[in-house]
Amino acid sequence: MFYFCVSLVLPLIGASIASPLKNLDKRDLPSFVRQYAPVAYLDSTEIYFPSSIAGQATHTHPEDGSGNNIAGAPSPLTLDNLNSLNNFASSGTNVYLTSDEGIEALPSWLRGVEPDSSGSTGSTIASLIITVSKPNNILDAFYFYFYAYNQGNWVLGLPALEFGDHVGDWEHTMVRFVNGAPTAMWFSQHSSGEAFTYSAVQKYNNGDRPVVYVANGTHANYAIPGTHDHTIPGLNLLAGPLEDHTDAGVFWDPLVNAYTYSYDNTTGVFTAYNGQDPTGYLDFAGRWGDNQLPDSTSGQIDVFGERKYVAGPTGPRDKDLGRSNVCPTSQSCSVSSILLP
């Protein structure tokens, strides 16, 4: 109702305002997107903490899929010019933000910033919020979390069988609002995830904000603490050969310091709510980390086609922001009213 009233009043202020709601959106997020923003608990054994999104550009250089430096790329790389890399190497999809030291060096910047006792990462911006308006009074708020490094799982608990390590790690949860009220929530987990009704998920201090438990190393998002076997995508069990582990370890409040945007699903345009946050990086089509290491590389593991060092992920624009259902279009899942492993 608030937005309806403002949309009636703003046209009276000046005829030059073409889209009152769009201009309003540039000033601040809808209040309910903040009110129901998730909080996170990182696992107590975590060593790869939330990381600076801008820092990922500072510590990397662009290479193509063959490992060649991209000639003519902007220098230095910034969040404002990352999208210019789309003009190189197959429209940008074959561009890799490659760590200057190499993935096996595990430089200290990959460890990110451990949140303080209040849940803040200080001046480090490691999160962003993207809202997407949809038919039937639906607004989806995507809460993205960035980590400079993803440490993969140990198969059968064996360190020698660690698979899925990569530089750069984008994770997210999504809260679906209908008429400004939260109705459901999505938790991303590797290549799949889970969805629950808003009423089912745990709330921080018994308030409005949902609680997310972040898995050690992989940063997959879960609705409950404990052990989560994800050997079969989309099916979580209490134990198995490929487990994530979560607990109420380090508290992180991603809302404290986040970039905020709206996304137009028709035009594909991102708009900063404050008119200042960088937007170029959101259009970057490439990978946010090194390419998968060749099998001949010392330290690389290949067991039945699974590798230790794999390619970094693509960014938020490829997370099905325009989905119709709470679950991504590529996944068939139900919205559960009961918290399960």
Domain chopping of the chain, boundaries:
31-318
Q: Which residues contact 307 (CB under 8 A, 6 or more apart)?
A: 163, 164, 292, 293, 295, 300, 301
Quote the pLDDT of residue 283: 97
Band the pLDDT of 329: cuts 50, 70, 90.
Answer: very high
Quote the pLDDT of residue 233: 60
Residue 217 has pLDDT above 50, yes or no: yes
Band the pLDDT of 297: cuts 50, 70, 90.
Answer: confident
Residue 115 has pLDDT above 70, yes or no: yes
Which tops the pLDDT comparison, 319 or 240?
319
Distance (Å, rounded) from C-alpha 288 to C-alpha 97? 5
Residue 246 has pLDDT above 60, yes or no: yes
pLDDT, mean of residues 281-308: 87
Quote the pLDDT of residue 22: 39
pLDDT, mean of residues 36-53: 98
For residue 142 the two structure tokens come to: 């995507």
Residue 225 has pLDDT above 60, yes or no: yes
Quote the pLDDT of residue 302: 75
Beginning with the edge strand found earlier in the chain, give each strand of the sheet holding 226-232 in spatial order: 235-237, 226-232, 243-246
Residue 239 has pLDDT above 80, yes or no: no
Residue 308 is classified by DSSP as S
Quote the pLDDT of residue 234: 60
pLDDT digits (tens, 9 = 90+) for 316-328: 999 999 999 999 9
Quote the pLDDT of residue 332: 82
DSSP, residue by residue, 12-40: GT-TT-S-HHHHHHTT---HHHHHT--EE
For residue 258 the two structure tokens come to: 């986040």
pLDDT, mean of residues 278-294: 96
DSSP reduced 3-state for 41: strand
Residue 20 has pLDDT above 70, yes or no: no
197, containing H or E segment = strand 192-197
- Length of the chain equals 341
Average pLDDT over all residues of the chain: 87
Q: Which of 127-131, 267-271, 304-308 has the lowest mean pLDDT?
A: 304-308
Distance (Å, rounded) from C-alpha 326 to C-alpha 184? 7
For residue 40 the two structure tokens come to: 């996170």
In the block, which residue shows the tokens 């170029």?
280
Which tops the pLDDT comparison, 143 or 28?
143
Alpha helices in the chain (DSSP H): 2-9, 20-25, 31-35, 53-58
Backbone φ, ψ for residue 50 (5° rounding): -50, 140
CB 272 within 8 A of CB 280: no
Distance (Å, rounded) from C-alpha 36 to C-alpha 38? 6
Q: Which residues contact 250 (CB under 8 A, 6 or more apart)?
A: 41, 42, 43, 44, 46, 49, 114, 115
Band the pLDDT of 3: cuts 50, 70, 90.
Answer: very low
pLDDT, mean of residues 55-74: 95
Distance (Å, rounded) from C-alpha 56 to C-alpha 259? 15
pLDDT, mean of residues 140-149: 98
Distance (Å, rounded) from C-alpha 341 to C-alpha 338? 10
